[in-house]
Amino acid sequence: MHNIFKTNESPIIIAGPCSVESLSQMRQVIQALPHNEVAWIRGGIWKPRTRPGGFEGKGKEALQWISDLKREFPALRFCTEVAQPEHVELCLQHGVDAVWIGSRTTGNPFSVGEICNALQNTHLPVLVKNPMTPDINLWIGAIERVSKAGIESVAAVHRGFSLYNNLGYRNNPLWEVPIELKRQLPDLPLLCDPSHIGGKRELLHQLMQTAMDLHFDGLMIEVHPSPDSALTDADQQLTPEDFFAILKKLSFRKDSESTPFELKHLREQIDLIDAQLIHLLSERLETSKKIAEVKGQNNMAVYQPKRWEEVLERKLALAQEHGIDPSFVKDLYEKIHAESVKVQLSKD
Ligand code: PEP
Ligand code: MN
């Protein structure tokens, strides 16, 4: 069976408000969006709030508005978040075209299991957002559970991760995680939700372009007729006009059939440099083992905080000299140092 989220041509675009707030809000947004480019409308009907006391969605009332709007706009395809089996049942009763499993739910296999029981034999298309933590197996596990429920149209949505350091984003994009997901599941459509990554509308253009440059299959973006008065996620929602303006500026890069000679040459160079890096790393680890022996003979602890501080400081200065982002070098050296300590501890 065909996966409706898979398109060979232009990326699939899902747009609409964070929350469905009223019939007129939804009508306004649907009328304002460019229908030839936006295949799907989104809108949260049940809102999972991190803290109690906020707007939790309009629930059943909103489903009736969606049924009415689908009669008014027959081409409309609507999707919303489900977190409980009864949400799935209500969506099916009201003709919702697809559902997504939200980030807070994906991380809980029991909840995903219950939703999947309700999805069994329904053929309702499902989008699976990444869990809040960068645990790729929890994400893949939820996707597998949905597929096992007999759902053919499944896609993943990258919405960033909630970390201690989110680098100025609402959720840290950690692009390497969706890239690894795509490597492990190359046939699964992968969409990006830049709104929940950015958290601020100023960041959206750049995030959307990055997603396109990384070959995502589509975008899910929050668009609201008057974002500043939105009941949820006011800072990150775009007006339909701003959204359309960004969409027009995006460049959708295509893979050409044949690789240009210059690119081939540069890739060979990269492969060569990588081989050298691995060789150097192995030499560094061998030297580490020798250091462990000397430390052992002299009854010294493996981890020497002062020495580590000096090593790191020197590397950061070198990074600066070479025009490399010091925070990248810091991350890299923390990994290298951790491996070195591990090797030294397991020496005997
Ligand atoms: C949403 O899309 O409105 C939402 C709550 O998303 P997430 O699960 O990614 O936080
Ligand atoms: Mn939102």
Which ligand 1 atom is the nearest neighbour of the CA of 195?
2
Atom of ligand 1 nearest to the CA of 196: 9
Instruction: Tell me what pLDDT residue 301 has.
Output: 87
Nearest-CA neighbor of 224 among 22, 12, 11, 5?
22
pLDDT score of 348: 58
pLDDT tens for 273-315 read 999 999 999 999 999 999 999 999 999 988 888 999 999 999 9
Nearest ligand (C-alpha, residue 197): 1
- What are the backbone dihedrals phi and psi of residue 190, each rounded to the nearest 5 degrees, phi first? -125, 120
Among protein residues, the one with the nearest Cα to ligand 1's atom 4 is 102
pLDDT recorded at residue 257: 67
pLDDT < 50 stretches in the chain: none
- Residue 50: the pLDDT is 85
Nearest-atom index, ligand 1, CA of 105: 8
Best of 129, 138, 233 for a ligand 1 pocket test (most atoms within 8 Å of beta carbon): 129
Q: Which residue has the tokens 């490399």?
A: 324
The rounded distance, in Å, linking the Cα atoms of 304 and 290 is 16
SS (H, E, C) the chain: CCCCCCCCCCCEEEEECCECCCHHHHHHHHHHCCCCCCCEEECECCCCCCCCCCCCCCCHHHHHHHHHHHHHCCCCCEEEEECCHHHHHHHHHCCCCEEEECHHHHCCHHHHHHHHHHHCCCCCCEEEECCCCCCHHHHHHHHHHHHHCCCCCEEEEECCECCCCCCCCCCECCCHHHHHHHHHCCCCCEEECHHHHHCCHHHHHHHHHHHHHCCCCEEEEEECCCHHHCCCCHHHCECHHHHHHHHHHCCCCCCCCCCCHHHHHHHHHHHHHHHHHHHHHHHHHHHHHHHHHHHHHCCCCCCCHHHHHHHHHHHHHHHHHCCCCHHHHHHHHHHHHHHHHHHHHCCC
Amino acid at 152: E
Separation of CA 183 and ligand 2 centre (Å): 28
How is residue 135 written in tokens? 């645990």
Encode pLDDT of 201-210 as tens digits.
999 999 999 9
Cα–Cα distances in angstroms (integers) from residue 196 to residues 74, 129, 161, in the given order: 29, 11, 9
CA distance between the termini of the chain? 56
**18-45 pLDDT tens trace:** 999 999 999 999 999 977 888 899 999 9
55, 81, 233, best to mutate for ligand 1 pocket (most atoms within 8 Å of CB): 81
The CA distance from 85 to 82, in Å, is 8
> Which residues line the pocket of ligand 1, CB cutoff 6 A?
18, 44, 48, 81, 102-104, 129, 159, 193, 196
Q: What is the pTM of this model?
A: 0.83
